[in-house]
Structure 1
Amino acid sequence: VVYPIISHWVWSPDGWLAKGFSIDNGTITSGFHDFAGSGVVHATGGIASFVGAALLGPRLYRFDSETGKPQSMPGHSVPHVALGAFILYFTFLAFNGGSQMSISNPGDGLALAIVMVNTILACSCGGTAGLIISWLTSPHWSFLETVNGSLAGTVAICSGCNVVYPWGACIIGAIGAGAYSLLSRLVLRLGVDDPASSIAVHYGGGVVGVLSVAFFDRSRGILLRWDRRAAWTWRCKSWDCWSSRAWSGGLSAAVFGLLHWLGLLRASEEFEIR
């Protein structure tokens, strides 16, 4: 119920966000652009993950019972994390490239080329930014932070991978990694346990991706075109962030809240310990 409604708003020709909004009696129209789903897919899933994790509650012993500070619960296999990340990187190329929906029409080759290049650059710059951030904020270099930073960068570029310059993709990827780093710490401060960092990666990267198009779009980005249409594009992006997240978060709260009330959301303490 959550995803089909939002995807209709953005990707259907009849969707209200796809149609956009007019200025000056219809002389300028600015529709919402989300090529491969930074907002429709990732930010939508990220906010649903936050609601679900908040209602589910943290794992046993994740937070100190007296101080409330998070306790380290490292994963069991870093090589498996690396393998999973590699699979995701590979499938993102198909995910973003496939959003072109065709490869045999005139112009498809050039369109797919820029999509692939931008996806790889954002992923690489996101990973580099994640590595540097981990070095600046902890006493050691973190491979896991590098992986999550690269994933956040790849998520961030989904929205505008077909309309930004390669240098813009590099900046977007790095900002996506920064958003992941900040949001992952904020989630812990709120007492929410997110073992796979899904909230920070997908919501942080997704929101960065949605808003970045308003700044880096080759034809109407604020950094490249200082005009009313560029400002209207930013406004349209902001409306999507609020409306789509309200729909996703509200319905998720209803579903997870009902499961929690019925006692069906979480396994027993004995099962978790075992």
Structure 2
Amino acid sequence: MNADAALFTAKGDTFYLIWAAVLVFFMQCGFAMVEAGTVRAKNTKNILIKNLLDACIGALIWFATGMGIAFGDSTDSPYFGTGVGNYALHSRDWSASYTSEGYDWATWFFQFTFAATAATIVSGGVAERCALSAYLAYSVALTGFVYPVVVHLVWDSEGLLSAFNSGSPVLGGVIDFAGSGVVHMTGGIAAFVGAIFLGPRIGRFSAEGKPMPMPGHSSVLQSLGVFILWLGWYGFNGGSTLAVFSSAYSRDLARVCVTTTLGAASAALTSVMIAHQFTHVWDVSAVGNGILAGLVSITANCVVIEPWAAIVIGMFGGAIYQGASKLVLKMKVDDPLDAFAVHGVCGAWGLVASGVFCRPEYSYNGLGSHGFVYPGAQPDLLGIQIVTFLIITIWVGVCSTVIFGSLRLAGILRVPAEVEEAGMDVSKHGGEAYDLSVPPAKA
């Protein structure tokens, strides 16, 4: 490759990664709309400010410590980044020998958008009763420490579970291509733990423990938010190829877009049909959350499966979401946005599905392991997928228990009952989100 061609490919990969990161960052708008539409009108400003501050605080914390813990340098331990190369992003683009054409900066931006997504998932599980200060404290801990450790284990080239580790990763390394486990399980488990420590919203369950309806105020916002998230997912999954100009990944990018689409579609249809069997209502929320469940389910495996498998994975994802949502209610845990069912449980299914449906020719596991539906070399990929599921569950569950438990012991986790009943917009944010007052008549 001559110098001009090398320069073009370097610049192209930088632009490609920034383009993908912008799509993923736009998902913050989708999360904000879904969450705002799902809560009651009296808490609209509160949920929006949490989403806005997630991104703002997350950017600073990811710059200071998150990126360094996740992706240190070649001297890292298998458990977290110990090299100083990415703490506060020590880039040397002022040097005459710098040739990456900004790719290191683009990598920081791309990884930041993933960290912001993990943090935003939590806001849905703790909606309508979590104190803002407590939520922001947790967001700092998640973005700055809890999530980066998971990233390092699974995606960094020195990580214990990473298939990109040229040393000796566990069982050849896990296939979690775009983060069903890393991003979605992390956010979903944290949301579940937070919901347990907070307790249910006032009036969510009757004295007999029966769930009481507490519908959101805008199906329009919910549906538009889901479409924005679906759009952003093409950057989330597709962008995880990380390059297309300097590699043969354009074929993989195209395949990812197909499998991502099919997984979302089949999950939505499965979800709404199951919901209709129980309620005899064609529920728009069942379609929207079904789409998200399918997207989460396909995120780990989108690059290593065939289209028919994407449809099957999506179908199971829609059914698993419906079952998990009902189980959480049976446990009397109040998760207003089904964050755990959509992201936590379907994220776990996405990990497992890699071990079932990974085509041998697409596998990037270091031992060549693949899905057990295909004959061939052993050991099957399923083993490392389950090990990763267990490690993420234990790590995030324990850390979240310590953080939310400490906030509860300090008495700063939940807002007072009178604030919750009045609505946090009036109590904490200067008034209602919607001005429905009738203007005075003209004289």
Partner of 1:138: 279
Partner of 1:156: 297
- The structure, 1 or 2, with the larger RCO (C-alpha pairs under 8 Å, 6+ apart) is 1
Q: Equivalents in 2 of 1:131, 1:192: separation in Å?
A: 22
State whether structure 2 residue 157 is matched by structure 1 residue 13. yes
SS at 1:162 equivalent: coil
Q: What is the deviation of 1:19? A: 5.1
State whether structure 2 residue 404 is matched by structure 1 residue 239. no
The TM-score with structure 2 as length reference comes to: 0.58
Partner of 2:219: 78
Partner of 1:173: 314
Give the greater-gyration-radius structure (CA).
Answer: 2
Instruction: Determine if contact 1:211/1:234 at 8 Å carries over to the other structure.
Output: yes
1:270 alignment partner AA: E
**1:212 equivalent among 346, 353, 377:** 353
Q: What is the deviation of 1:246? A: 0.3
Equivalent pairs counted in the alignment come to 266
**1:259 equivalent among 391, 404, 407:** 407
Partner of 2:113: none
**1:35 equivalent among 168, 177, 184:** 177
Partner of 1:225: 375
Matches within 5 A, 1:40-51: 40-51=182-193
Q: Equivalents in 1 of 2:191, 2:162: separation in Å?
A: 25
Q: Equivalents in 1 of 2:157, 2:275: separation in Å?
A: 43
Instruction: Determine if contact 1:47/1:248 at 8 Å carries over to the other structure.
Output: yes
2:183 alignment partner AA: V
**2:398 equivalent among 231, 235, 250:** 250
SS at 1:181 equivalent: helix
Q: What is the deviation of 1:137? A: 1.9
Q: Equivalents in 2 of 1:92, 1:203: separation in Å?
A: 17
Q: What is the deviation of 1:14? A: 1.1
2:146 alignment partner AA: V
Q: Equivalents in 1 of 2:205, 2:247: separation in Å?
A: 56
Q: What is the deviation of 1:225? A: 2.4
Structure 2: which 5+ residue stretches go unaligned?
1-144, 361-369, 423-443
**2:250 equivalent among 109, 123, 139:** 109
Identity of aligned residues (%): 38
Q: What is the deviation of 1:258? A: 0.4
**1:147 equivalent among 273, 288, 296:** 288
The TM-score with structure 1 as length reference comes to: 0.94
SS at 2:161 equivalent: helix
Q: Equivalents in 2 of 1:108, 1:20: separation in Å?
A: 16
2:194 alignment partner AA: G
